[in-house]
Structure 1
Amino acid sequence: MADLSAFPITRRWPAQHPDRLQLYAAPTPNGVKASIMLEETGIPYEPHYVNIMENETWNAEFLSLNPNGKIPAILDPDGPGGKPFALWESGAILLYLAEKSGKLLPADPAQRYEAIQWVMWQMGGLGPMFGQLGFFHKFAGRDYEDKRPRDRYAKESHRLIRVLEQHLSDREWLVGNDFSIADIASLGWVRNLIGFYEAGELVAYDELVHVPRWLERGLGRPAVQRGLNIPAKPD
């Protein structure tokens, strides 16, 4: 049985199954990247709910694993060289799990880097812009009298989602003919934009054709449906 006692995070979130990969997350657009990926690949794992509304990512145990204080993070008891391995940043986790499982990352070198390209695009653009739009539209930012910040992020989000629309105009998935980490990276963010953030009107989502079809296909996958609700908030 794997010994994870050297990792302080396991004192706050004890591992009931230490031989399984440990996931520390919440069902946010970034968090579900990891849970969807784990459900899609079939890698055995144990999810731990991290309450970001209670600032649990800023306690000493979580920071010992991820000094950046953000979810998701993982602890793999069977990491490189068979040793326990901790990793954070959702894009890095997608790549790690793809390589560990041999799934959802094209084997063809050109398509492999194309998939990585779209993951980086989401990490550097789509996610941050949608997140800021959500803040200024739905949360505390909506009370700001000055609407220029909201409009700035709405304009850039409008542009970014049309990059996605154009790319999907002649294909079902972002890379090649198959669902991949490129799709996983963006699915949760587009879903949140029009759902939780209620910002579809700000980006004229109803004008789009290909993105809604792609989103419906992605959300229709059983593993995606499961991953969107993992880790579940404890009762």
Structure 2
Amino acid sequence: MSLSPIKLYTAPTPNGFKISVFLEVLGLEYDTQVIDISKNESKEDWFVKLNPNGRIPTIVDPNFKNAPTEQGLVLSQTGAILQYLADTYDKEHKHSYPFGSAEYYKTLEYLIFQVSENGPIQGQANHFIIYAKEKVPYGVDRYTNDTKRIYGVYEDILSRNKENGSKFLVGDRYTVADFALYGWAYRLARIDIDIHDWPLLGQWFDQLSKLPGVEKGLQVPPSK
């Protein structure tokens, strides 16, 4: 059965990269609409009707059966989007685990850890270091240190997994837990943090960067 392209509303941000990279890795067809967040396009009425929070990324999947809207299933929040794509389109479990397995729930644990701690904390570090009009040393120090603490947690996870012969966050394959983290790890250099300061994370990052589809996903949307 042929599938219609998924519509991806996105911008060149860590959260946007999460979804475009995973779509590429899964080999799914999708159309991109760039949202200029610098011009507050994500707060315009037409977009807020899709996503009440007014944030990218958002997807519309016209292939969803019994969709609640004429366009299809509308989803925002990167954790929800990634899990949906894995559940719906990774039937061979190349980048996921069967529902109900221990690995499935471990993936969910680390996915939630990324979206609830890593993303927001690193996002605040980005704000205070890059975007704040007034430099606030307290904010810079607090969020930089906490960002480093969180990557230390990931290093510990990989260290524990290494004892069982794994180089992934969960089990024996890259999952949405890895792809969620990768979008933010890719942008660490912007706040002068080198992921190779954590040896296992550095290896993890370098290897994941070589996965087919990752580089292409990082070019979505294409730079001007």
Structure-to-structure mapping, 1:214-233, within 5 angstroms: 214-233=204-223
Asked if 1:200 corresponds to 2:188, the answer is no
Q: CA RMSD in A?
A: 1.8
CA distance in structure 2 between the aligned counterparts of 1:199 and 1:80, rounded to whole angstroms: 45
Structure 1 residues 23 and 206: CA distance shift in structure 2, 3 A: closer
Counterpart residue type for residue 126 of structure 2:
G
Asked if 1:106 corresponds to 2:101, the answer is no
Q: Is the 8 A contact 2:9 2:35 kept in 1?
A: yes
Q: Is the 8 A contact 2:60 2:74 kept in 1?
A: yes
Equivalence for 2:30: 45
Equivalence for 1:61: 46
Equivalence for 2:74: 86
Asked if 1:176 corresponds to 2:171, the answer is yes
2:6 paired residue among 21, 25, 34: 21
Counterpart residue type for residue 198 of structure 1:
I
The Cα shift of 1:21 comes to 1.1
Residues 134-187 of structure 1: CA deviation (Å, up to 9, x unaligned):
11112225x32x411111111211210100111112131111010111100000
Q: What are structure 1's unaligned runs of at least 5 residues?
A: 1-17
Counterpart residue type for residue 114 of structure 2:
Q
Q: What are structure 2's unaligned runs of at least 5 residues?
A: none
What is the TM-score of this pair, normalised by structure 2? 0.88
The Cα shift of 1:206 comes to 5.0
> Secondary structure of 1:80's match?
coil
What is the TM-score of this pair, normalised by structure 1? 0.84
Asked if 1:149 corresponds to 2:144, the answer is no
Asked if 1:125 corresponds to 2:113, the answer is no
> Secondary structure of 1:94's match?
helix
CA distance in structure 2 between the aligned counterparts of 1:191 and 1:175, rounded to whole angstroms: 20
CA distance in structure 2 between the aligned counterparts of 1:64 and 1:82, rounded to whole angstroms: 16
1:97 paired residue among 73, 85, 89: 85
Q: Is the 8 A contact 1:134 1:199 kept in 2?
A: no
The Cα shift of 1:199 comes to 2.6
